Each structure stands twice: as C-alpha cells, then as structure tokens.
C-alpha cells in the first residue's frame, strides 16, 4: 500500500518513522498502594495531614491446656517453626505426669507437716495431763528412821534403818546402811567407864545417814548379846551406863531402858523375824514361816 502510494505520489517519502506511545506515569504512592498488603506488615504512617489514630492492640487470647505452647496462626511469624499436632500432644502428655507428681509431693509434704503438728499437740496434752496428776496425787510422806546398835562379843554394829509405817513396815533399802566398830563392849570389863567411847563412831555414822530434822523422832536402841552376858551383872551394868551417857547426848530419841542386855531367846526371836521378813513369809500363816538356827561366836540359837 505504501509502495502504491509512492508511485502515485512521488512527493511523499516512502520511509516509515517509528511512533512512540506515552503511557501515563503513576506516582510512587500509587505504585506502593497497588502492592498487596500483608496482614503482618505495619501500615505506613502518613507524612502530614491528619494525625494517625492510636494503635489498638488486641487483647491476648487466654491459653487453655489444649492451646498451651502453640501460637495463634495470625500471631505466628512467617518463618516460625510449626510443630505437628501429634508432637505437641506428646509433649503435653509427657508434662502431665510431672505435674501430677509435683502435686502429689506437695500433698504428701502438707500431710506430713499436719501429722507432725498433731503429734506435737498430743505430746503437749499428755505432758499437761501428767503434770496435773502429779499435783493431784497425795505426796508420799518421808520415811521414818530407826537406829539399832548390836553390841556383840567381837565388835559392835550400827544399823540405820529407813522404813515406811503400815500394818507391816516396808523397808527402804536405798537409805538403809550398817557400820561395824571393834572391839566389843566385853573388852572394857577392866575399865567400864570408857566403854561408851567405842560406840561414838557408830553414832556419828548414824547422824550422817539420818536427816537432821528427823533426829528428834528417830529412836536409837542398844542391845548387848552373849559377849556382855559373860561378865558379872555389876560390870555389865557399868558398861551399859557408860553407853547410855553417850546415847543421851546423841540427838536421837532415847530412853535408858532402850540400852539393855538381851537373852539368848530374845536374840533368836529377833533373828527369826528378820529372816522371815526378808523371805516375805512374815505376817501370814504360821506353817508358811521358816525356822532358823543362828550361829554366833559365843552362843547359838
């Protein structure tokens, strides 16, 4: 067509000039606005004009045991690692026994502390009850004392006896004691007036064993046996009188007739009473008692 036109109209050029199409240019703002907006991108703030509205933050969603440890899909970063539901469930199940064990330990510790408090309260109650019973129970009276000097042929012995009164007196063996001193009273036949000095250590021993506030009501007795019976009556009485003078000044309760010379029969009776008391047969039927034979240095009963 152009060739024909060239031939028909030679004045016109036969060459074609390229034409240029000018497309409309859009401003940068328009280009940026055409981009797809991401839900995770913060919208740009306007550069002037009306002030921007305050950013409203969404309230956090409460997590439940089923959603604990998993982020909301809209709050997760694009490159965040997503755990499979099965793995998250396994972790939840694995953490469940640990929490149960912790709860059991807490319950056991609380129950043990409660048991200790109950035990302490029970012990305090028992202690208070025992103290009240001790106050209400009548206090036992102090024991009574007796002092007996056995003046034998080879020496004299003092017996400090602690007992509690009753139908059958009960001896307190923890406070009972004895001491022997030599020579015997029969060895002072040549000088009867000095016989009392031989029993002075025995009286001093008795004063140490008997409480001082019990001296005035503690009887002291002297019983001379076979060694003094071998002397004549006048000499034996002089020896006894020397002992009486010392016994009157001893501080114990004493009467002159309590320092005497006993017979062999009386000596045997006292030995029989002592033996059956020790065996526990005293105070019952006579056929249950035990007979004894006492063998002394000078005589036998």
Give which of 265, 270, 257 is closest to 159, Cα–Cα.
270
Residues 6+ apart with CB under 8 A from 118: none
Q: How far apart are the first and last CA of the chain?
A: 184
Is 219 known to be catalytic?
no
Strands 219-224 and 259-261: parallel
Report residue 192 as tokens. 């009867």
As beta bridge partners, residue 295 has: 300
Distance, in Å, from the CA atom of 278 to the CA atom of 37, rounded to the nearest integer, reads 117
Alpha helices by DSSP H, the chain: 2-8, 28-34, 85-136, 200-209, 226-229, 233-248, 264-279
Catalytic residue selected from 29, 257, 267, 294: 267
Q: What share of the chain is helix, strand, coil (3-state, %, to 5)?
A: 45, 10, 45
15 φ/ψ angles, rounded to the nearest 5 degrees: -85, 150
Q: Which residues are catalytic?
A: 267
């Amino acid at each position: 067509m152009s060739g024909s036109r060239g031939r028909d109209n030679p004045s016109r050029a036969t060459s074609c000039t390229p034409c240029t199409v000018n497309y409309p240019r859009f401003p940068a703002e328009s280009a940026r606005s055409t981009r797809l907006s991401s839900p995770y991108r913060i919208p740009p703030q306007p550069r002037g004009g009306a002030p921007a509205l305050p950013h409203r933050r969404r309230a956090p969603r409460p997590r439940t045991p089923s959603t604990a440890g998993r982020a909301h899909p809209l709050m997760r970063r694009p490159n965040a690692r997503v755990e499979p539901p099965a793995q998250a469930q396994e972790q939840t199940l694995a953490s469940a026994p640990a929490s149960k064990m912790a709860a059991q330990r807490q319950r056991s510790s609380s129950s043990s502390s409660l048991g200790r408090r109950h035990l302490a309260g029970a012990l305090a109650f028992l202690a208070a009850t025992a103290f009240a019973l001790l106050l209400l129970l009548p206090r036992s009276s102090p024991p009574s004392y007796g002092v007996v000097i056995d003046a034998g042929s080879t020496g004299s012995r003092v017996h400090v006896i602690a007992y509690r009164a009753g139908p059958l007196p009960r001896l307190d063996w923890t406070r009972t004691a004895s001491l022997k001193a030599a020579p015997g009273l029969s060895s002072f036949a040549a000088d009867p007036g000095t016989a009392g000095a031989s029993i002075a250590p025995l009286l001093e021993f008795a004063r140490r064993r008997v409480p001082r506030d019990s001296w005035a009501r503690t009887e002291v007795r002297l019983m001379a046996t076979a060694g003094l019976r071998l002397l004549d009556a006048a000499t034996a009485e002089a020896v006894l009188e020397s002992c009486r003078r010392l016994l009157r000044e001893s501080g114990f309760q004493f009467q002159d007739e309590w320092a005497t010379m006993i017979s062999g029969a009386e000596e045997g009776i006292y030995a029989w009473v002592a033996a059956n008391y020790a065996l526990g047969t005293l105070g019952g039927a006579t056929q249950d008692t035990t007979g004894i034979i006492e063998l002394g240095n000078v005589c036998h009963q």
